[in-house]
Structure 1
Amino acid sequence: MANPAILTVDDDPAVSRAVSRDLRRRYGDRYRIVRADSGEAALEALREIKLRGEQVAVLVADYRMPQMNGIQFLEAAMDLFPLARRILLTAYADTEAAIDAINLVDVDHYLLKPWNPPEEKLYPVIDALLDAWIATPDRPVTEIRVVGHRWSAESYAVRDFLARNLVSYRWLLADDPEGRRLLTAAGLTENDVPLVVTPDGKSLVQPSEIDLAPHVGLTTTPASDFYDLVVVGAGPAGLGAAVYGASEGLRTVLIEQRATGGQAGQSSRIENYLGFPDGVSGAQLTERARRQALKFGTELLSAREAVALEAGGSTRVLRFDDGTSIAAHTVVLATGVSYRMLRAPGLEGFTGRGVFYGSASTEAPSCLDQDVYIVGGANSAGQAAVYFSRYAARVHILIRGDSLERSMSSYLIKQIAAHPTIQVHPYTEICQAEGDEHLERLTLRDTRTNQIRTAETTWCFIFIGAEPRTAWLDSVVERDRHGFVLTGPDLLSGGQRPAGWALPRDPYHLESSMPGVFAAGDVRSESVKRVASAVGEGAMAVSLIHRYLEAQ
């Protein structure tokens, strides 16, 4: 982090050089002396300093400057650095204006020109102001800053992307003072959010994930155009395949559209995963797996969306949404599933503004002492209910069945039953959502009696089953009627191999209808929807890939 700045501005070159020289002589070892020749140039320098998250200790401005005088400059500078100490340089004839500046715009001191000798007339003033500034300085900022609106779906998407990729950031509301100062520094208004400011001062306005990723330490460009193994999807199955593939010598690249971990990475606590008797969060588990994959040499590409898969002889080509592609001997499809959308009037319009699909952990602190509604009865819903109960006044679980026992693990059912602030509502569904800027109320219906009631709430988290993300594989590999990828024995209809299968053997257990393309985890038809089984299938796929490659 650069030293705090002392900025001087004077349109007279001789005076500008003199004040900078004197300041550098005494303070240059501890402070960065920044010189400008006009008010606008000085403001531009302050904007850059603000965006870089650096500090300004003292501002020294000449009173008589064209276009923007010293008082006007200091007043504008206060919007960016309100804690910086302010000095006005004046001639004897301007002392009355200087005194007015002290009273009207909070100038800390005025100095008459010339100030020789500086040891008597300049340094004591600067020393006193620096002492005062050190007592209450602007803190330097080293993390990414995100400026946005509380109920902006676009702002939520940026925060969620950063959080799920374990990128530290500071969240600032656009109408808060510091948020406004950053928008001003970037030359933007509240209508331009979300704004992302990187530690080096780069401003990203309404960035897409692919635009944002390189600026937060994520890799988006492959280092090679050919690999032994391409793994599509960085959930538990994909991470398992990447770890075992890379550790066994395969040139492996792992492709992820959003964030490592998939749905498992959003789980607040997994308590039935082997080897973690005290439980582990999904983020912790998948971060360990990510580091393990990287240690063995896996290349991880983030924010890349696969849109096509093609066969070219023994080569498998994966195409991305930007028109680029990579090729490999083999592919593991581990794209997992996404939560099914709940179709009720009004819900879609509040997505990201009170209605969330999956456990949006970034929102949990904002739920403090409020009622939270969770829709769904599987483990993911139960884990979210327990997690949000740490913050919410009350957590309501809405299920259409009679109990949780059909779809949730018993350890979670026991935790929920023992928790005084979690209430399960059987035979209940949402039939409407209402609000203005964000979700404000839900209309609930009892499916047995058709009785309607209204629930005032700002928070609804939905976990109502999963759909495979396989539309891009249409006509490429065979899928079941729900879209899950068929593999191994499931491809043999009446003992017949799939259409177009040219090899003299049956498909391997996890192999799809395209030779050399395997499926693992939730995306595979009839798979066990558990983290442990997904990891196991990822490892098993690599074993079968070795058999495939040896036979080529």
Structure 2
Amino acid sequence: MADKPAILIVDDEPSVLAAVARDLRARYGDRFRILRAESGAEALDAVRRLRLRNAPLALLIVDQRMPGMTGIEFLTEAIQVYPDVKRVLLTAYADTEAAIRAINDVQIDHYLLKPWDPPDERLYPVVDEVLDDWMANWSPPFEGVRLIGHRWSVETFQLKDFLARNLVPYRWLDVETNPEAQELASQARLDLTRLPVVILPDGTALEQPSQQQLAARIGLPVQAALPFYDLIIVGGGPAGLAAAVYGASEGLRILLIERHAPGGQAGTSSRIENYLGFPAGLSGSDLARRAVAQARRFGAEILNAEVTGIRLEGQYRIVQTASGGEISCHALLIAAGVSYRRLEAPGVERLHGKGVYYGGALSEAMAAKGEEVFIVGGGNSAGQAAVHFARFARCVTLLVRGDSLPKSGMSQYLVDRIAEIPNIQVWFHTTVIEALGETRLTALRIADAKTGQERTVPADDLFVFIGAKPFTDWMDGLVALDDAGFVLTGPDLARARNGAARWPLKRQPYLLETNVPGVFAAGDIRHQSIKRIASATGEGAMAVHFVHRYLSSL
């Protein structure tokens, strides 16, 4: 019933309150929620709770003579919360002067004299009229999560990005510029020093929640359903999702653990146009959504959690999570992907989340309307971001260290697309040497490597795409890595930087198997992998084949 508009009746006489509620429920109960309150203070509290839930309030039917707070006094307060609500005053014959005053003071739509029997003649025609008028101008409210915070806040940005990448509908309310944010903060009596605040559809306010706390409250799975699985996949990018689909479709008990959101770096891509089978292209979020639905359809379980370590116990591989839990499996696939390398320049780290972002940060696209956007990098991810942000920004500038986009690794279709968009410009031989601004990014100092010339340019947003750093810190030396930190598998194990990480069995390791039997790696995290979505999905599918071979040997 939460989606039905409400009618609130306020009267301190229980018999009158019950009679009005009975008559209204009989006529309007299928279309409206009928709520009751026995005092102005109780009713005002109910109005504020409705507002926090973003629930529609169509009509107030209020008795004028109530102790503590008169009907007019209540309406004066209530219309500050719901300015468009319809208002009907209940009065006795002797109070008609008060009713006329209410028309002038709080713009009531009608007044009813008590008693109103029969309702078909004296109640319903009045209520029908005001409700028809309200419905004619009503638009259903947004019913999802609302996020209140400052645009130039790291914590707010992280929650926006988390919700967007997990495909959770949300509405962003900037506390500095949005009157609704300020009103909600007042109604919920929020401490504005503890932003960001997430308001859930039921009206519950979460102050400065962590991503794991928010995940639990919005219904994302944060606890594994089983203590043991055939295969646990760490990482929900294309490789991990492909392995989940193929493994689950072949009858394996699969658990995929993703610390942020399914899709990985590919999930941040605004448009992927060179993926086989999608001639019109698709967004990274669409690809992730389809893959998640496919994996779940086959029975794979997807968990929102952070893996902090692995330990071995005989033939079992045990995954440890940040919550302190442990989950066991026969085989483990590491598909945790990579993160963008940090830009080493003064001011960049200080302004991270305050105008400086790593990756696409598609949640910031609309906010960049009319702004000066800079993108560091020359690969496909940088090109896709430039095309996307050009739809909103006044100007998008690509800062490229090399002398051409193809030499920087960008596909020709993106090079051609960028050349066609008038508000994208490319500056070659260019590096960022400093990010400027106090509470947010305001300018960049850049250098031309060819001429040595330095200059300062105004900047509102900086998005960084400068290479990959493998997410392998949590492995704690158990799995063999190359000198750059990528996972070694199969014949490449001879390159291990850790001499003690030797293959322990007589048989040769499978192609995607690490130095630990039964632990596999696929996708961007693997040594010398091809950094393309199609190759990642192929490796994820191929890893399942080797997992079957490993399981059959147990």
Matched, 1:38 2:22: no
Q: How many angstroms does 1:510 deviate by?
A: 1.5
> Contact 2:479–2:501 at 8 Å: present in 1 too?
no
Partner of 2:493: 491
Partner of 1:344: 345
> Contact 1:237–1:538 at 8 Å: present in 2 too?
yes
The structure 1 segments of at least 4 consecutive aligned residues displaced by more than 6 Å after TM superposition are none
Q: How many angstroms does 1:327 deviate by?
A: 0.5
Partner of 2:476: 474
Partner of 1:194: 196
In the alignment, which of 498, 509, 512 is matched to residue 510 of structure 1?
A: 512
Partner of 1:227: 229
Q: Distance in 2 between matches of 1:117 and 1:177?
A: 44
Task: Please give the residue correspondences for 1:227-266 in structure 2 after superposition, counting only pairs within 5 Å.
Answer: 227-266=229-268
Moved more, 110-119 or 519-528: 110-119
Partner of 1:397: 398
Deviations 1:448-498 (A, max 9, x none): 33322222221211101111111111221121222111222222369x995
Gaps of 5+ in 1: none
Q: Distance in 1 between matches of 2:98 and 2:219?
A: 50
Partner of 2:25: 24
Q: How many angstroms does 1:87 deviate by?
A: 2.5
Partner of 2:546: 544
Partner of 1:206: 208
Partner of 2:86: 85
> Structure 1 pair 406/20, CA: closer, same or farther in 2 (3 Å)?
same
Matched, 1:270 2:272: yes
Q: Distance in 2 between matches of 1:127 and 1:337?
A: 61
> Contact 1:83–1:138 at 8 Å: present in 2 too?
no
Q: Distance in 2 between matches of 1:450 and 1:71?
A: 73
Moved more, 501-510 or 262-271: 501-510
Q: How many angstroms does 1:546 deviate by?
A: 1.6
Partner of 1:535: 537
Q: Distance in 2 between matches of 1:280 and 1:55?
A: 36
Q: Distance in 2 between matches of 1:406 and 1:30?
A: 63
Partner of 1:324: 325
**Which amino acid letter does the alignment assign opposite residue 330 of structure 2?**
H
> Structure 1 pair 57/420, CA: closer, same or farther in 2 (3 Å)?
closer
> Structure 1 pair 38/453, CA: closer, same or farther in 2 (3 Å)?
same
Q: How many angstroms does 1:313 deviate by?
A: 0.4
Q: How many angstroms does 1:141 deviate by?
A: 3.4
Moved more, 261-270 or 272-281: 272-281
Task: Please give the residue correspondences for 1:377-526 in structure 2 after superposition, counting only pairs within 5 Å.
Answer: 377-407=378-408, 408-492=410-494, 499=501, 501-526=503-528
Moved more, 398-407 or 375-384: 398-407
Q: Distance in 1 between matches of 2:100 and 2:442?
A: 52
> Structure 1 pair 497/173, CA: closer, same or farther in 2 (3 Å)?
closer
> Structure 1 pair 497/458, CA: closer, same or farther in 2 (3 Å)?
closer
> Structure 1 pair 542/29, CA: closer, same or farther in 2 (3 Å)?
closer
Deviations 1:327-380 (A, max 9, x none): 000100000001111122222232222211111222222323332110011111
**Which amino acid letter does the alignment assign opposite residue 20 of structure 1?**
A
Q: How many angstroms does 1:207 deviate by?
A: 2.4
Partner of 1:353: 354
Q: Distance in 1 between matches of 2:38 and 2:64?
A: 13
> Structure 1 pair 4/254, CA: closer, same or farther in 2 (3 Å)?
same
**Which amino acid letter does the alignment assign opposite residue 72 of structure 1?**
E
Q: Secondary structure at the match of 2:345?
A: coil
> Contact 1:55–1:138 at 8 Å: present in 2 too?
no
Task: Please give the residue correspondences for 1:288-307 in structure 2 after superposition, counting only pairs within 5 Å.
Answer: 288-302=290-304, 304-307=305-308
Q: CA RMSD in A?
A: 2.5
Deviations 1:493-548 (A, max 9, x none): 69x99546432223222111221111111111221211121112112211111221
**Which amino acid letter does the alignment assign opposite residue 212 of structure 1?**
L
Q: Secondary structure at the match of 1:277?
A: coil
Deviations 1:205-263 (A, max 9, x none): 33222122244342222110100100000101111211221122211111111111100
Q: How many angstroms does 1:63 deviate by?
A: 3.0
Q: Secondary structure at the match of 1:406?
A: helix
Q: Secondary structure at the match of 1:546?
A: helix
> Structure 1 pair 530/119, CA: closer, same or farther in 2 (3 Å)?
closer
**Which amino acid letter does the alignment assign opposite residue 279 of structure 2?**
P
Q: Secondary structure at the match of 1:249?
A: coil
Q: Secondary structure at the match of 1:310?
A: strand
**Which amino acid letter does the alignment assign opposite residue 364 of structure 1?**
A
Q: How many equivalent pairs are there? A: 550
Q: How many angstroms does 1:76 deviate by?
A: 2.4
TM-score (norm 1): 0.92
Moved more, 159-168 or 144-153: 144-153
Partner of 1:69: 70
Matched, 1:15 2:16: yes
> Structure 1 pair 37/533, CA: closer, same or farther in 2 (3 Å)?
same
Q: Secondary structure at the match of 1:454?
A: strand
**Which amino acid letter does the alignment assign opposite residue 281 of structure 2?**
G
Partner of 1:148: 149
Q: How many angstroms does 1:395 deviate by?
A: 1.3
Q: Distance in 2 between matches of 1:68 and 1:436?
A: 49
Q: Distance in 2 between matches of 1:39 and 1:158?
A: 38
> Contact 2:480–2:501 at 8 Å: present in 1 too?
no
Gaps of 5+ in 2: none
> Structure 1 pair 478/419, CA: closer, same or farther in 2 (3 Å)?
same
Moved more, 387-396 or 331-340: 387-396
> Structure 1 pair 20/480, CA: closer, same or farther in 2 (3 Å)?
same
TM-score (norm 2): 0.92
Partner of 2:371: 370
**Which amino acid letter does the alignment assign opposite residue 346 of structure 1?**
G
Q: Distance in 1 between matches of 2:25 and 2:510?
A: 73
Task: Please give the residue correspondences for 1:133-144 in structure 2 after superposition, counting only pairs within 5 Å.
Answer: 133-137=134-138, 139-144=140-145
